[in-house]
Chains A and B, each alone.
Chain A
Amino acid sequence: DIQMTQSPSSLSASVGDRVTITCRASQSISSFLNWYQQKPGKAPRLLIYAVSTLQSGVPSRFSGSGSGTDFTLTISSLQPEDFSTYYCQQSYNSLSITFGQGTRLEIK
């Protein structure tokens, strides 16, 4: 299986901050990298697919970049509703989809 490792596991930040979350794959996954946001007690929400394409309705303060094995999710100016847990997910090996362990973004 392709292992997905996110860093940091948790992060404290303030409203208005710029935040970056990193996701590293154990092997090259080309651009088959998606990002999700999950709030407590809720189902995940797809934010970005194919590394950098924003899902419909996702604010433009979210952006994604990377290729191969190293990827980032950036939030340019944190809003109160952005404090959540974020997951990366590879779909390169469609026979065995894997997620990162998650990054919990908390209010400082």
Chain B
Amino acid sequence: EVQLVESGGGLVKPGGSLRLSCAASGFTFSNAWMTWVRQAPGKGLEWVGRIKSKTDGGTTDYAAPVKGRFTISRDDSKNTLYLQMNSLNTEDTAVYYCTSSRGFFWSGFLERDAFDFWGQGTMVTVSS
């Protein structure tokens, strides 16, 4: 059974930092592209960013609102995904979800950005 378990959320002051973790099990983590999605209270889903597998280059991509402040990394030896968040502001207050995809083939293409694995989320509150 696939499990994604986030941790590290909490209350932080504006300008502060926080590191979230996502422990993965039940699938070959090293082959997976891992993504963070967040949801502000009462709002919709927002893609935060993604890290590809090392075999696919291990590159990262970020949404514009977090680029330069957030860093996604992975430790394949620990089956763990990280989100380092710096220079936090009140707009970063949200539930942060760790997500991934088993990969879906259609029309000769492997879709890796349709997310069928989700963690339970961890709440990050940025407030003075």
Q: A interface vs B, CB < 8 Å?
A: 1, 31-32, 34, 36, 38, 43-46, 49-50, 53, 55, 87, 89, 91, 94-102
Contact = CB atoms under 8 A, between A and B. Distances in A.
A49 B47 contact: no
A1 B64 contact: yes
B106 to A, nearest CB: 4
B64 A102 contact: no
B63 A50 contact: no
Q: How large is the interface on B (under 10, 10 to 19, 20 to 34, 35 or more residues)?
A: 20 to 34
Contacts of A32: 111, 113
A79 B12 CA distance: 41
Contacts of B97: 43-44
A53 B116 CA distance: 13
A95 B61 contact: yes
Interface of B: 35, 37, 44-47, 50, 61, 63-64, 97, 104, 106-107, 111-116, 118-121
Contacts of A50: 104, 106-107, 111, 114
Contacts of A94: 61, 112-113
A87 B114 CA distance: 12
B118 A44 contact: yes
6 closest Cβ contacts across the A-B interface?
A91-B113, A43-B118, A49-B114, A97-B47, A50-B106, A46-B116
A3 to B, nearest CB: 13
B45 A44 contact: yes
Contact of B46 (A34, A49, A99): A99
